[in-house]
Amino acid sequence: MSMLSTLTPSLDQLLGGGFHTGYLSLVYGEASTGKTTLSVQCAVAASRRSLKTLYVDSDQSFSHQRLLQIIGSGNTDVCDNIIVFLPQSFLEQSKIVESLENYITKRVGLVVIDTMTSLYRTALGGSAMTFDLNRELNRQLAYLVELSSRHNLTSIITGQVRSRVDDVGWKVEPVARRTLFHWPKTILRLKSTVDTNIKEVRLERSHSGDVADKRCYLEMTEQGLRDFHYQSGYPR
């Protein structure tokens, strides 16, 4: 397979068919914008193609109940195809990431790390430690890129954001932006609108190189993210 569906047609179209296999993709945004839900949907999509997912839940946000809601009345055997890892520290995350190849079989099609920078952010300390943590984060990302390419996997990482002041005003950007943005071929930004159930998805980097400020809107429902077709003048 060359693409992995997100289970939302408008987002698949935005991505040119879905997330590309063989490459690393980044999904970032504020809390409650749907990053985890989107990650779980991709795991369900992989399972429906008889593929397994290695899911590193660094944010402790993976919910079995949410998974069942997304699956719906379908085959609950989907659950058996998702292997969840629960690191308790950034060091543990690093060890898990570097051991993922031990779990790779022909049936593994997706790797998810949600969230890539949550434990990194917790571990941040003095300047010397910051340098070491940045180097380790960079090493993990490089490893994921190599793993994806070598085994033709779809790899998706999610990222937290922070606010900082520049010469224009307040700016929202991913934690460890420089490192995170260096590696992925595809970058999506998720953002809540005036209606918090409606999420704007903006394509900031495309595997094809053609971005042109493309976006779509999704609605957060009990069954997951669904296409939302807004009317002209809908508040953004």
What confidence score (pLDDT) does residue 212 get?
A: 59
Quickly count: other Cβ atoms within 10 Å of residue 114's Cβ. Answer: 23
Span 88-100, pLDDT tens digits: 999 999 999 999 9
160 domain residue, yes or no? yes
Contact 192, 160 (CB under 8 A): no
Contact 30, 161 (CB under 8 A): yes
Q: Letter for the amino acid at 234?
A: Y
CA pair distance 100, 144, nearest whole angstrom: 9
**Number of domains the chain contains:** 1
pTM: 0.92
Domain presence at residue 232 = no
Q: Per the domain annotation, does 45 fall within a domain?
A: yes
15 lies in some domain: yes
List, in sequence order, every residue forming a beta bridge with 24; answer none if it has no partner: 155
Which residues form the domain of 172? 3-227
Q: Looking at residue 204, which CATH number applies to its domain?
A: 3.40.50.300
46 falls within a domain = yes
pLDDT 10s digits, 9-60: 999 999 999 999 999 999 999 999 999 999 999 999 999 999 999 999 999 9
Q: What is the pLDDT of residue 167?
A: 58
Confidence of residue 168 (pLDDT cuts 50, 70, 90): low
DSSP 178-209: HHHHHS-SEEEEEEE-SSTTEEEEEEEE-TTS
6 phi and psi, to 5 degrees? -95, 0
Angle at 101 between CA 123 and CA 12, to 5 degrees: 85
Q: Binning pLDDT at 50, 70 and 90, where does residue 175 land?
A: confident
Give residue 174's pLDDT.
78
